């Protein structure tokens, strides 16, 4: 460990890592440039570096991008990466109420807490967590997806019916493309671009960012006097008290979900958001700018980083798309992750641990120093800000796959986002349905193939049964919370 530390502490490695973190924040902050793409873009440049510094750059980008995604989510309601979709729910309303600096500060601090927590889990419990992750077969993945969908109940603040409708539409949209089991094309209208289904980034960018631009363009310019305390970045003591519990919960949730291959930060953030709402004393603030909701979402998507490294390093199976690219880079440098790497406890492994830890800690000064500056964005007059947002939406959705088709999808969902907003339909359930739809269907059918068509497989397997029970419980709790709030507010206004 000390050897690894010395090697890491050599000046140039640290600088490279810092550069990686900054580059990651920029890439994450630009819509359409995901963490995956950022890391993939940088892999060729690391061929000429020795293994350790190369790895440090990539880890820096990964961690930086996870935080960077929050910036546009808070400031202009554009999730920079899919994992920041849940961040828009409370981060953007906070910025609209003149607390942009605070929102960025909280994102940064809770993100670092989550990242550090998950790295510690990676260091001390990786083999155990990996064994747990392997127990997830098709039935368990299906149950987890249902559990994820149960979050819709708490995202549908004003009308459960509308939320459920939007969620069902999201899952239906997810069935576009090649059927995952029989490879039959569905709803593709003969377009090859639709065979893979709707790409998530253009939909997210359209429905959140472009839809918001359209919506806000019809409203009068907001009162700028709200923005006097824009520069306040550090949370107050009472803020800290409020976010402690959600942050801790989200760290655990994010790490575990991250450790499951194929489930990423987007799901983790929504699940953590729901948990925070359930334990909160002020659930009514969620969706209107709750510090707790923001903390949970941001903490969860950052704690996915360490979690996703667990199956990658212990089993050689990447936990998400980013770690898949990092795995490729490791192989290029002659490192073969897998059970061997972990059992031998090589200095390289120690260096990865330390690197991840330091990359997370580097986000803190960089993020906090930048927060004041970034927060000024909301001060920009709308006739200057909005056209740039539109251009970013267009370029971002194009950049993902170099595809003009995706730009069209983005525009379509932008119009839809605006129409839904006008009709007071919540868009978050739609997005969640789209994120989870494929996972739900695919694993449902895969499990039935394994069981020969018997549905009892979902209840016979203990882990799957537990998750389904939790999903039912989660919906019940959300309904109870709603009912109580209704009663209170009805009593208050009467």
Partner 1 sequence: MGGAIVGRRIGLLLAGLLLLTGGLAGCRPREEKPFPSRPITIVCPPAPGGISDTLTRALAAAAQPEFSVPVVVENKPGGANAVGLNYGAHSAPDGYTVTYVVAELAILPHLGLSPISPDDFDLLARTNYNPAAVTVRADSPWRSLPQLLEAARARPETIRAGNSGTGSIWHLAAVALQEAGGARFKHVPFGGAAPAVQALLGGHVDLVCVSPTEVQAHVEAGKLRMLAVLTTQRDPLFPDVPSARELGYTLDIGAWGGLALPKGVPADRRERLLAGFRRAFGQREFQQMMAERGVRLAWLEGEPFRRFVQTQSEANRRLIARLGMNLTRGDVGPWYFPRLLAGLVLTLLLATAVVGVLGWRSKVRTTIRGGVGSARYSMLEEAEARTMSGGAWRIGVLSLLLIALLPLVGFLASCTLFLFTAALFSGRVRVWQAAVYAGAAGVGVWWLFGSMLGVSLP
Q: Indicate the SS3 state at residue 210.
A: helix
Nearer to partner 1 (CB atom), residue 112 or residue 435: 435
Q: What distance, in Å, lies between the first and last C-alpha atoms of the chain? A: 65
Q: Indicate the SS3 state at residue 177.
A: strand
Q: Decide if residue 245 touches partner 1 (CB under 8 A).
A: no
Q: Indicate the SS3 state at residue 218.
A: coil
Among 8, 18, 21, 27, binds partner 1 (CB under 8 A): 27
Q: Decide if residue 25 touches partner 1 (CB under 8 A).
A: no
Min CB(216)–partner 1 separation in Å = 8
Nearer to partner 1 (CB atom), residue 110 or residue 443: 443
Nearer to partner 1 (CB atom), residue 102 or residue 194: 194
Contact 120, 248 (CB under 8 A): no
Q: Decide if residue 415 touches partner 1 (CB under 8 A).
A: yes
Q: Decide if residue 411 touches partner 1 (CB under 8 A).
A: yes
Min CB(437)–partner 1 separation in Å = 8
**Read out DSSP for 3-42?**
HHHHHHHSHHHHHHHHHHHHHHHHHHHSTT--HHHHHHHH
Nearer to partner 1 (CB atom), residue 162 or residue 482: 162
Write each residue from 195 to 214 as x if it is in contact with partner 1 (CB under 8 A), else as -, in one continuous string: xx-------------x--xx
**Read out DSSP for 294-346?**
HHHHHHHHHHHHHHHHHHHHHHS--SSHHHHHHHHHHHHTT---SHHHHHHT-
Site for partner 1 in 261-290 (CB under 8 A): 261-262, 284-285, 287-289
User: Could you tell me which stretch among 3-11, 51-59, 381-389, 465-473 binds partner 1 (CB under 8 A)?
Assistant: 381-389
Q: How many CB atoms lie within 10 A of CB 311?
A: 25
Q: Decide if residue 336 touches partner 1 (CB under 8 A).
A: yes
Nearer to partner 1 (CB atom), residue 313 or residue 356: 313
Min CB(116)–partner 1 separation in Å = 26
Distance CA 179, CA 166 (A): 22
Of all helices (H) and strands (E), which one includes residue 178? strand 177-178
Among 10, 12, 128, 217, binds partner 1 (CB under 8 A): 217
Nearer to partner 1 (CB atom), residue 1 or residue 224: 224
Site for partner 1 in 391-410 (CB under 8 A): 391-392, 394-395, 398-399, 401-404, 407-408
Distance CA 225, CA 104 (A): 20
Contact 107, 84 (CB under 8 A): no
Q: Decide if residue 321 touches partner 1 (CB under 8 A).
A: yes
Q: Decide if residue 316 touches partner 1 (CB under 8 A).
A: yes
Nearer to partner 1 (CB atom), residue 114 or residue 292: 292
Q: Decide if residue 149 touches partner 1 (CB under 8 A).
A: no
Nearer to partner 1 (CB atom), residue 11 or residue 452: 452
Min CB(185)–partner 1 separation in Å = 7
CA-based nearest residue to 8, from 46, 56, 49: 56
Residue 244: phi and psi, rounded to 5, are -60, -55
Per-residue burial over 49-60, b if 16 or more Cβ lie within 10 Å, else e, is bebbbbbbbbbb
Q: Decide if residue 463 touches partner 1 (CB under 8 A).
A: no
Q: Decide if residue 465 touches partner 1 (CB under 8 A).
A: no
């Amino acid at each position: 460990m000390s050897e690894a530390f010395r090697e890491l502490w050599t000046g140039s490695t640290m600088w490279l890592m810092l550069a990686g973190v900054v580059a990651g924040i920029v890439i994450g902050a630009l819509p359409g440039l995901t963490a995956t793409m950022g890391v993939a873009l940088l892999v060729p440049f690391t061929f000429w570096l020795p293994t350790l510094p190369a790895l440090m750059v990539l880890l820096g980008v990964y961690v930086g991008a996870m935080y960077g995604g929050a910036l546009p989510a808070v400031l202009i309601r554009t999730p920079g990466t899919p994992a920041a979709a849940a961040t828009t729910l409370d981060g953007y309303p906070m910025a609209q109420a003149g607390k942009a600096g605070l929102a960025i500060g909280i994102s940064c601090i809770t993100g670092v807490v989550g990242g550090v927590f998950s790295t510690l889990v990676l260091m001390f419990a990786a083999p155990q967590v990996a064994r747990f992750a392997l127990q997830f077969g098709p039935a368990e993945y299906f149950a987890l997806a249902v559990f994820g969908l149960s979050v819709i109940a708490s995202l549908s603040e004003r009308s459960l019916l509308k939320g459920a409708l939007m969620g069902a539409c999201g899952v239906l949209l997810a069935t576009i493309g090649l059927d995952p089991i029989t490879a039959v094309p569905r709803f593709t209208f003969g377009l090859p671009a639709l065979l893979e289904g709707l790409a998530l980034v253009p939909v997210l960018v359209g429905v959140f960012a472009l839809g918001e631009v359209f919506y806000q363009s019809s409203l009068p310019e907001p009162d700028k006097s709200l923005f006097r305390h824009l520069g306040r970045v550090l949370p107050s003591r009472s803020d800290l008290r409020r976010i402690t519990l959600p942050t801790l919960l989200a760290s655990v949730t994010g790490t575990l979900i991250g450790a499951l291959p194929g489930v990423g930060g987007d799901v983790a953030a929504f699940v953590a958001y729901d948990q925070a709402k359930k334990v909160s004393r002020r659930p009514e603030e969620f969706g209107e700018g709750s510090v707790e909701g923001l903390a949970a979402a941001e903490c969860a998507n950052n704690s996915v980083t360490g979690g996703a490294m667990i199956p990658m390093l212990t089993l050689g199976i990447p936990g998400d798309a980013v770690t898949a690219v990092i795995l490729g880079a490791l192989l290029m440098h002659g490192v073969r992750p897998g059970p061997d790497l972990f059992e031998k406890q090589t200095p390289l492994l120690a260096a990865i641990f330390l690197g991840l830890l330091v990359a997370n800690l580097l986000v803190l000064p960089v993020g906090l120093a930048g927060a004041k500056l970034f927060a000024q964005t909301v001060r920009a007059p709308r006739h200057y800000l909005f056209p740039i947002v539109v251009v970013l939406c267009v370029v971002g959705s194009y950049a993902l796959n170099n595809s003009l088709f995706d730009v069209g999808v983005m525009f379509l969902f932008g119009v839809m986002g605006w129409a839904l907003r006008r009709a007071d339909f919540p868009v978050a359930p739609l997005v969640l349905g789209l994120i989870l739809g494929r996972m739900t269907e695919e694993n449902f059918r895969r499990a039935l193939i394994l069981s020969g068509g018997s549905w009892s497989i979902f209840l016979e397997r203990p882990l799957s049964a537990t998750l389904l029970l939790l999903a039912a419980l989660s919906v019940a709790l959300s309904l109870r919370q709603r009912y109580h709030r209704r009663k209170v507010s009805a009593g208050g206004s009467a």
